[in-house]
Structure formats: structure tokens, C-alpha cells
Amino acid sequence: MLREQVSLQALNTFGVAATARWYGEAASPAELAQLLADPRVADLPLLVLGGGSNLLLTRDFDGLVLRYTDDHIRAIARGRDSHLIEVGAGMNWHAFVDWSLAHGYVGLENLALIPGTVGAAPIQNIGAYGVEVERFINAVEVFDRERGCTTIHKHDACGFDYRWSRFKRDGERDRHIVVNVRLRLPRQGELQLDYPGIREELATMGIAAPNARDVFDAVCAIRRRKLPDPAVIGNAGSFFKNPIVAAEIAQALLAKHPGAPTFDAGAGRRKLSAAWLIDQCGLKGYRDGDAGVSAQHALVLVNHGAASGADLWRVAQHVQATVRERFAIELQPEPVVV
């Protein structure tokens, strides 16, 4: 069912005020096709909304805001060492990670407490603590708006890269709506413990021989301590991607700042810490009215109360300009900016 002039303030984790000209929800591809064919919205711009946790609305949206709500989970193939699990795009991501551990699967524990929905996970190729979701994705099923039907993209056709997939490309972003994600989840596997902070957190918890649930708990504890809770103060988590640069640029940075954190990114590239760059510019805790940079974590922009999306975008641009001026490095936003 379509509704007109719907407030989006409660549907984005920044909590900024914005209105959708039209708003609709669908729970199946058939409902999706019917909704998109409605002549009132058929030719309007489309914004697909998941958990609203990877989004900055700087204005009202003069089009259709759509939520896909199917949140089923089912095993579609069972092997000796792993199972193929299909998940509806509307499923809450953290709840699915919790479900996977409760049902004896391993691998997703490092991705605990990432906000948003399962449908957003492959689009963004979400990652944390040394793990990216593409490692487990078998296929992504989308509703193709041009063809008017669902199509399945196997892993190698998804174009995964750091915080990237083909579904973020111009043209693809508006054409494909994720409806199901298929993940191959192992029954056993080596735990990923080498990302900074995990072993230390496990040691603090008094756990010498951790299992996957222990890692899940450790990641949750770290994230809750380091990142502000959107239920308490509006934010969208990490706002900037960690920049990936040529190894020579990273070496030049290290020559001037020996303590700068860098990580291997393959193919002669290094990943830098956006949080470190922002912190070095003295912007942690920066505030412009009710918009600002979190005092808890430099990578997070926050709404202290009544900031507009435009206010937050102005702060983001200030952070970009300051880092560019000091380090000659361009920070790219991680959320979708409307």
C-alpha cells in the first residue's frame, strides 16, 4: 500500500527530519512488482530503505521510498561441511548473525552488531574486524526493474571490493532491488582473531580458548564501548571509508608519522585509518550546532538533537576538506547521501 507525505525521521538512524513524497512496503517480489507498476510512482525516483543506518537525508525525497520487509531464513542445500542458507532482504543483520551462531554455523561472528538489514549487506560488502561478508555470499537475488522479474547474481558476478559491489554502480543502483541473499555458512572454521582488539578483549573476558560465540560477544563489547548507540544519539556508524592508497603514499605518510596505522590491501596498496586521520586533525568531538563528530569515535558523525541532514553534510565536508589540506588524502563517505 502506498502512502503520501510520510515522515522518515523515525526510519533513519541519524534521526533527521525528512519527508517522502510516497512511501510503500513490499514483502515479496510479486508485491514489489505491483507497487512499482502503480502509475502514481512508476516514473518517480526510487530510494530503497533498509534499516536506515547507512543513509544521510539532506532533504525531502520527491519520489518513492520503498522498504522490502521479507525476513525469512531457510536452508536450501545441506552439505557435510557447510549449508547454503537463504535469507530475506528485510531480515535484521545482527539478528541473523545471532541466529547463525545459535544454529551451529561459524564465520559471521566478527560481523556482529553491524546495523542494517541483510539486503544491504552485499550492496555495501559490509565488513568488520578482518572479515567481509562477500567471503560467505554464494549469490544475490534481485528484482530487476528493467526486466520486471527476479534474477540471481552468483558471487563472481557481484563485483565485490572494499565496501563496494556492482549494486552500487550508477545505473545498477536504481535498477536492482535485493530480495534474497544466499550465504554458504560453514559448520566449522578457523576463528579470525588477529584484528587489533579482539584477542585483548577475549583476554579481558578471561577466555583462553574462544569459540565463535565468544568472539561474537567480544566484538559486541568492543563496538558498544567504541561506537555511540543510535538509540541514544543519532548516527550512522562509520561515516567515512578507510582510504586505500598506493604503497608509496602510505610509506610517505609513515615517514612523517611513524605511528600511523596502515594495513595491507593487496596489489601494492595499503589501507589507512580514516579515524586516525580525522583524529590527527583535531576533529574528534568537533561540533557545529547540533551536528558534529563523535567524541567517542572520530569516524562517526552525530546528531546532538536537532541537526538537519544538511547540517551533518556540512560537517562531513569540513572533515573532508581538513583531512585533504593536511594529508592530501580524500575521504569518501560510506553511507548513501541523498
Q: What is the pLDDT of residue 304?
A: 98
Reported as a pLDDT band with limits 50, 70 and 90, residue 95 is very high
59/101 same-domain check:
no
Cell of 26: 513490499
- Three-state DSSP at 170 gives coil
55/93 same-domain check:
no
Residue 64 lies in a domain: yes
146/127 same-domain check:
yes
Q: What is the pLDDT of residue 98?
A: 98
Q: What is the pLDDT of residue 173?
A: 85
Cα 322 from Cα 282, distance rounded (Å): 10
Reported as a pLDDT band with limits 50, 70 and 90, residue 172 is confident
86/136 same-domain check:
yes
Output the domain CATH number for residue 286. Answer: 3.90.78.10
114/143 same-domain check:
yes
Q: What is the pLDDT of residue 232?
A: 94
Reported as a pLDDT band with limits 50, 70 and 90, residue 278 is very high
Reported as a pLDDT band with limits 50, 70 and 90, residue 63 is very high
Cα 160 from Cα 202, distance rounded (Å): 31
Q: What is the pLDDT of residue 1?
A: 84
Segment 71-85 mean pLDDT: 96
Output the domain CATH number for residue 168. Answer: 3.30.465.10
Angle CA 296–299–302, to nearest 5: 65
Write down the residue that cell numbers 577466555 correspond to.
207
* Residue ending a domain, choose from 68, 88, 118: 68
Do the beta carbons of residue 97 and residue 216 sit within 8 Å?
Answer: yes
Cite the active site residues: 163, 238, 334
User: Against a cut of 0.95, is the pTM above it?
Assistant: no
Q: What is the pLDDT of residue 221?
A: 97
pLDDT, mean over the chain: 96
Do the beta carbons of residue 17 and residue 303 sit within 8 Å?
Answer: no
Strand partners, 47: 65
What single string gives the DSSP state of each residue in 76-107?
Answer: EEE-SSEEEEEEETTSBHHHHHHHHHHTT--S
C-alpha neighbours within 13 Å on the C-beta side of residue 53: 22
What percentage of the chain reaches a pLDDT higher than 70?
Answer: 100
Residues 6+ apart with CB under 8 A from 223: 112, 113, 128
Q: Which domain holds residue 182?
A: 73-186
**Is the pLDDT reported for residue 170 higher than 90?**
no
Q: What is the pLDDT of residue 142?
A: 98
